[in-house]
Amino acid sequence: MRIAALASGTGTILEALIAEDLPIALVVVDRACAAIEIARAAGIEVAEHIRTDYRATFDREAYSDELLALLRAHSIDLIVMAGFGTIVGRAVHTGYEGRILNTHPALLPSFKGWHAVEDALSAGVKITGCTVHVATLEVDEGLILAQEPVVVLPGDTKDQLHERIKAVERRLYPATVRRVISQLENGEPLS
């Protein structure tokens, strides 16, 4: 099993995946970020598929076609999103249907999208959490593979709550990826 981790940020999710000795063969980044050095320090090949266009007219499909070709050239079997900032298009989702995993800082189906932590705080919920799911073309809509609640404490700021969610995510995500690898290798349906 050859995994590609797609990253854009500080690399904390990537570090958690690497620490669990998952078979990450490639790290793809869409911008200059700390994940590059984390991958290189671990001896993992890095592909910089840089996104230079952030306009509304960004050609997501062309970007995704190139990304799919890159993944196939590296014989990738499974994609794990590790804080990747670009929503990938149809080509990648078709080429890796059911084999793209993502983590989300809320208990899906609640609080979908980019502002899940802020949305949970604004809604006044007492519990939010982390979800690991299969990524689909429809953002935050795929099969839920694992979830764990996180209590919202009185006076929580976005950063405080998000850090507690990330602590759960760094444990739950690698464990779920390991389970998915086993299910795929054994021809079992994802659950």
**Lookup result for tokens 């996180």:** 150
Q: Is the peptide bond before 174 cis (omega within 30 degrees of 0)?
A: no
Instruction: For Cα atoms 4, 86, 106, give the angle at the middle one, nearest 5 degrees.
Output: 85
Q: Which residues are catalytic?
A: 104
Coil, helix or strand at residue 130: strand
Residue 62 corresponds to which tokens in the numbers above? 């062309």
User: Which H helix or E strand runs over 162?
Assistant: helix 158-185
Closest CA to 144 of 171, 94, 180, 181: 180
Q: CA neighbours within 13 Å on the CB side: how many for 64? A: 16
Coil, helix or strand at residue 79: strand
Coil, helix or strand at residue 132: strand
